[in-house]
Amino acid sequence: MRITVNGTVHELDVESDMPLLWALRDVLDLTGTKYGCGVAYCGACTVLLDGQPVKSCSLPVGAAADRTITTIEGIARGTTLHRVQQAWIEHQVPQCGYCQPGQIMAAVGLLGANADPSDAEIDAAITNVCRCGTYTRIRAAIHAAAKA
């Protein structure tokens, strides 16, 4: 099957029901997307599918065929970080950092759909779990990225 990841078309020889997460990590060696829970709850595996955040641990790779996938590796432009990544640094969002790729991808998807979200809209859209509890900094970083 053919999938487009971060602007590059890939031909994959995998079962169509393989989770997209494992195709990204194990087949394409894009390990920025993390495994967290395996049941589409925590959001550590969030990527963008046609610009919309999806949890890749439960999405069959076949559902992504002939669609556009963006991972954490694909949002910076060369050495220029995406505005959300830059805001994450400026607001010192990560503690352990494990969930941050998924958090960032969820935020990129949110800002793609809503250029200036309110606190309530951020809380409704960013359902990813952060065991370190950096939600206040995540919200502040999203507001900062919206203004960038």
For the domain made up of 2-74, give the CATH fold.
Ubiquitin-like (UB roll) (3.10.20)
Taking the C-alpha atoms of residue 95 and residue 9, their distance in angstroms, rounded to an integer, is 34
Helix (H) or strand (E) holding 133, with range, is: none
What is the layout of strands, in order, in the sheet containing 52-55?
8-11, 2-5, 68-70, 46-49, 52-55
The model's confidence at residue 128, banded by pLDDT at 50, 70 and 90, is very high
Residue ranges, comma separated, of all CATH 3.10.20.30 domains in the chain are 2-74
Confidence band, pLDDT 50/70/90 cuts, at residue 44: very high
Mean pLDDT of the chain: 97
| Alpha-carbon radius of gyration of the chain | 15
Task: Report whether 84 contacts 75 (CB < 8 A).
Answer: yes
| Range(s) within the chain of domains with CATH label 1.10.150.120 | 83-147
pLDDT in the model for residue 83: 98
Model pTM score? 0.96
Q: Quick one: fold of 83-147?
A: DNA polymerase; domain 1 (1.10.150)
Query: What's the pLDDT at 84?
Result: 98
Q: What percent of the chain has pLDDT over 90?
A: 98
pLDDT band per the 50, 70, 90 thresholds, residue 43: very high
Q: Give residue 39's pLDDT band: very low, low, confident or very high (50, 70, 90).
A: very high
What percent of the chain shows pLDDT beyond 70? 100
pLDDT given at position 52: 97
Determine contact, residues 26/91, Cβ cutoff 8 Å.
no
